[in-house]
Amino acid sequence: MASNSVTVRVPAKVNLQLSVGPRESDGFHNLVSVFQAISIFDDVTITKQSPGHGISISITGEHTHGVPEDASNLAVKAAALVGSKFDFDVDVHIDVKKSIPVAGGMAGGSADAAAALVAMDSLFNLDMSREELHALGSELGSDVPFMISGGTAIGQGRGDQLTAALSRGTYHWVLALSSVGLSTPAVYSECDRMRAELEIAPPAVSDHLMQSLLAADADAVGRALVNDLQNAACSLRPALSLVLEVGRDYGALGAIVSGSGPTVAFLVADEDAGLDLAVALTASGVVGSVARAHGPVHGAKVI
């Protein structure tokens, strides 16, 4: 008997590299992003409803504040998009159990969209290829294709043209979470403002980072972390500079604002170092809350 319900688990991401080109005439920026999927997960359950009910959504879990429970939610948009692509009326309830911080630069909304696409594909036996899922995902947001595939990958263009990165080893992360999110458009605007007088080169993949990932050299990866939005995020939220400094002082191999922030990701040598850093950051009083994770992990997957 066909199932009436499917649950998909989907990870958060950190950016190991986020290089931002100049603002284009359409208002967008060309990007080079190296993503790593890490072991903080949302679970998205989609359940069939009787005809005429349309799409409803409920949000539960640790990080629910500010997540829309209406048609503007990316998971709802994903379910509707699948219906329009395959020409059927979508009558489903979506339950999102959130552990990924909201507006934290960790692609929580994109993750839920990716999970909804994979769940819809499974629930309605659509047999979409990875390429079809990615194409639909890129209509919803530039991070969505990566959240479908996971692992470690390079995104180019708007960030949605993906190639797998040759990466070895497991990387241990400590994440300093903020109780208040940062608006991605605001961070990009601040980045543009701060760079207004500068000649900005087109973004390129960091050879140093690629070689370090291939060598499974966590020390070298830590030194190679780079985010062109970091100064803008710190300008809008000056406390982030202090968080970065404290983490480095307590022995992190590398420190980076993830995406547009305000989550700060610290790369550490191993689990023990991660526990030590988490305790030190909590005791320092400069961090709201702390999470630990490892990567790379798989992308959106039926459980």
State CA 114 to chain mean position distance: 11
Among 13, 77, 97, 98, the one annotated catalytic: 13
State CA 191 to chain mean position distance: 20
The owner of tokens 């998205």 is 44
Q: Are 145 and 160 in contact (CB under 8 A)?
A: yes
The residues pairing with 55 across neighbouring beta strands, listed in sequence order, are 92
Enter the tokens of residue 92.
């489903």
Integer Cα distance of 95 and 78 in angstroms: 13
Q: Is 13 a catalytic residue?
A: yes
Q: Is 143 a catalytic residue?
A: yes
Q: What is the DSSP letter of 300?
A: S
Integer Cα distance of 292 and 15 in angstroms: 16
Among 42, 95, 112, 143, the one annotated catalytic: 143
Enter the tokens of residue 117.
């696409």
The catalytic residues are 13, 143
